[in-house]
Amino acid sequence: MDRAPTSTWAPAATTAVFFVAGLPALIYQIAWQRVLFLVFGIDIESVTVVVAVFMLGLGLGALAGGWLTRVSRVAPLIVFGVLELGICVFGVVSLDIFHAASDLALGNGRIANALLMAVILLVPTLMMGAGLPVLAAYVVRLTGNVGSSVGTLYFANTLGAAFACVLTATLLFPRLGLSASVHVAVLLNLVAGMAALLAHILGKREAAARAPAPPNEDQSVGEHGTGRRTLASAIVFASGAIALSQEILWVRIASFASEARASAFALTLGAVLLGIAIGARQAERICRRHPDAPDKLLSYMATAALAAAIVGYLGPGLTAHAASYGPAWAGVLMFAGLVTFGLWGAILPLAAHVGVPPDRRAGQGLSIIYTSNVVGSAAGAVLTGYVLLDIMGTRDVTLFLFVCGAVLAVVIAAAQELSKSMARPIAIRGLIAVAVGWGLSGPLFDDFHGRLLNNAERGDKTPVRDIVENRNGIIVIDVADRVFGGGVYDGVVSVDLVNDVNGIIRPYTLSLWHPAPRRVLVLGLSMGAWTQVLANHPDVAEVTVVEINPGYLDLIRRHPVVSSLLENPKVKIVTDDARRWMRWHPGETFDAIVQNTTINHVAFATNMLSAEYLKIVRDHLRPGGVFLYNATASARAIKTGCGLFTDGYRVFNSLVVSNANISIDPERLRRVVAGYRIQDRSVIDGGTPAGRALLTSLGTLRDMKFYDKVHADDAIESCRDLLARVPDVVPMTDDNMGNEWSR
């Protein structure tokens, strides 16, 4: 490889270019993942595959970048500029490619679709992953210091990514939507690519060549040996696995405590990346102070791993305790995240300095270490997200990762390069930390979910009774039988129509809209109250239920009010993403489709309220069929539904729409409800004053009461009237993402 042109400003210019390149990379990641979830589903399998494929592409790209530094005679800045421009080209057509892939995905198995996803993402992630080793090899030749070069570049790129997270959550997605945000990323790629090419041209014109010449390659390799590189690769593999596992856990905690706000993921990821950037910056300074002291750097790595394990363990528990004092929990979680991931972020540059000599092979050596870190991160994501969180609770996973971090610190301390005077204190501290942490786990995680949930604007401190944690999420039920899925209110376990505490009147009104619903599709089981009502409708012969989280089945079995539906021969329950199931079963049609949608502004709520989604639902309705769904009183959701169907009505906070004109029949509703029986008991006792009053209100559509009293005076309103009073409301689409990012 030819010596790179050097200048007094070349390292700073290269760092600035890599900062800019970090911005579009994270915008793409957040945007592309969202589009891929639309195509392949939002269940944990799809999430795991998307993350793993991203990591696989970055790892392969790093190896390719290392290979390029050995064989290519093209200047590194030109190579990097071409890579950025290549990502730019892919970005322009990326959304079209993803949507085209959705048609190819129909009917395929999970493995086939995972391979399809890998093929789609391989090209852009390869180019993204190749950037670090290409630029790092160049800067190493300018500075002669591997750790300083990697630390500086890693800091700049990660800082750009952290800034992109905040930018996406606060400006791009709320103001521009999905497509325009991708266009911004394309523009940033173009800027980074052109800036790299310009920096190369200006550098060639500058006469000075002040960087130290690289040491003799053979001497350098012999001095370091392969042992250090293997040790460094093992360290960054383990640290990457633990760090990404903690990131998955912390995003889950932030989402639960924040009522699943869409911004929780982006902002938490931003805090994680900012911490990593700060850690990389500190590592850069350490490597400049100790350029020839590998034992010292190993000592720093061992100390960082132990400290990261301790703070990473204390952070979730202290966050839950802080929730008792209001919004303070977010500050505690963010601060703990900055410290934890700052410590993890320091390890990669330090390990690179220990394992890679500053010679012409530096790029290839760095690519191996970086790939080890990426592969470790992917392994941690799969292990934690897909396995550990399915068999262990938050407390146990946090404790497990703490022990892993402490063990890593002890292993690093025991490495042969580290003197006994340094190793023994670190090992002893690690063992003490594990013992103390184990003892503190009880009080630290006492009522963990209850504390976080009481912060989620419930308005009271009702104790938690049942908790189910699995890889699909966290479900909590309090002593008042209120259900919270992922921290979001999800209803009450009740089918009592007389004492209606959960708006259960809505599924009972099915006979008002349809004369004889025989075949019903329920999208979202939750705790089964709506399904129990529909399965016992006297005209219904078959109910198909699609539920993404099988954890609800465990809780349903514990509640006699709804447990019988699991044994009801009418009911068939499928574990799947609702949108994906409908797209993969185009021939299934129904008299009624019913959906008690989650709150319209939480993460991914638009997936089940957008115009694109409603068109999928529309194709599954039989002639005269109706779609009854909870619009959670959102004017945008109501405008979207009324604008896509022939006829429709708002019923309390929900909407019922159809491809045909709906013939309302209150007397039919009164008659059906009067004969309704659930678990061999009448729903309404017509002999009581309360029962007679309720039947009268159903038969006349007057004085119909809703549990929150918000819509008591105008229970039913036609789409014609609705559209007339919301003319300026923008409908929900997959692209504008509804109310998720701006409420």
pLDDT in tens, 605-643: 999 999 999 999 999 999 999 999 999 889 999 999 999
Average pLDDT over residues 483-490: 89
Higher pLDDT residue, 114 or 542? 542
**Which positions ≥6 away from 225 have C-beta within 8 Å?**
none
Band of residue 670 on the pLDDT scale cut at 50, 70, 90:
very high
**Which positions ≥6 away from 306 have C-beta within 8 Å?**
405, 406, 409, 426, 429, 430, 433
Average pLDDT over residues 533-552: 96
Query: Does 74 have pLDDT greater than 90?
Result: no
Rg (CA), the chain: 29
Residue 743 is predicted with a pLDDT of 65
Query: Does 562 have pLDDT greater than 50?
Result: yes
Average pLDDT over residues 528-534: 96
- 307: which 2 tokens? 């400290």
Average pLDDT over residues 176-202: 94
Residue 53 is predicted with a pLDDT of 81
- CB 355: neighbour CB atoms within 10 A? 28
Measure the CA angle with vertex 219, ends 217 and 220; round to 5°. Answer: 65
Instruction: Please state the φ and ψ torsions of residue 323, each to the nearest 5 degrees.
Output: -60, -20
The answer to whether the CB of 245 falls within 8 A of the CB of 400 is no
Higher pLDDT residue, 476 or 208? 476
Helix (H) or strand (E) holding 128: helix 110-143
Residue 142 is predicted with a pLDDT of 82
Residue 419 is predicted with a pLDDT of 52
> Cα separation of 46 and 684, whole Å?
44
Residue 69 is predicted with a pLDDT of 85
User: pTM for the full model?
Assistant: 0.90
Percent residues over pLDDT 90 in the chain: 54
Band of residue 35 on the pLDDT scale cut at 50, 70, 90:
confident
Band of residue 213 on the pLDDT scale cut at 50, 70, 90:
very low
- Which residue from 651, 486, 643 is spatially nearest to 552, judged by alpha carbons? 486
pLDDT, tens digit, for every residue of 290-301?
A: 988 888 899 899
Average pLDDT over residues 513-518: 96
The answer to whether the CB of 527 falls within 8 A of the CB of 559 is yes
Residue 185 is predicted with a pLDDT of 97
Measure the CA angle with vertex 118, ends 370 and 242; round to 5°. Answer: 40
> Cα separation of 648 and 628, whole Å?
10
**Which positions ≥6 away from 375 have C-beta within 8 Å?**
55, 59, 237, 240
Residue 420 is predicted with a pLDDT of 56
The answer to whether the CB of 515 falls within 8 A of the CB of 665 is yes
Query: Does 105 have pLDDT greater than 80?
Result: no
Residue 212 is predicted with a pLDDT of 43
Instruction: Please state the φ and ψ torsions of residue 495, each to the nearest 5 degrees.
Output: -120, 15
- Which residue from 694, 332, 250 is spatially nearest to 498, judged by alpha carbons? 694
> Cα separation of 312 and 331, whole Å?
15
Q: Which residues pair with 602 in a beta bridge?
A: 261
- 305: which 2 tokens? 């791993």
- 296: which 2 tokens? 């010292």
pLDDT, tens digit, for every residue of 362-383?
A: 888 899 999 999 999 999 988 9
Residue 205 is predicted with a pLDDT of 53
Band of residue 348 on the pLDDT scale cut at 50, 70, 90:
very high
Q: Which residues pair with 681 in a beta bridge?
A: 678
Query: Does 333 have pLDDT greater than 50?
Result: yes
Band of residue 644 on the pLDDT scale cut at 50, 70, 90:
very high
Residue 2 is predicted with a pLDDT of 42
Average pLDDT over residues 471-489: 90
Instruction: Please state the φ and ψ torsions of residue 737, each to the nearest 5 degrees.
Output: 60, 25
Residue 20 is predicted with a pLDDT of 95
Residue 436 is predicted with a pLDDT of 73
Mean pLDDT estimate for the chain: 87
> Cα separation of 521 and 543, whole Å?
6
Band of residue 727 on the pLDDT scale cut at 50, 70, 90:
confident
Q: How far is CA 500 from CA 186, 492, 524, 688, in A?
A: 52, 10, 21, 16
> Cα separation of 482 and 493, whole Å?
7
Any idea what DSSP says for residue 726?
A: -
The answer to whether the CB of 740 falls within 8 A of the CB of 610 is no
Band of residue 157 on the pLDDT scale cut at 50, 70, 90:
very high
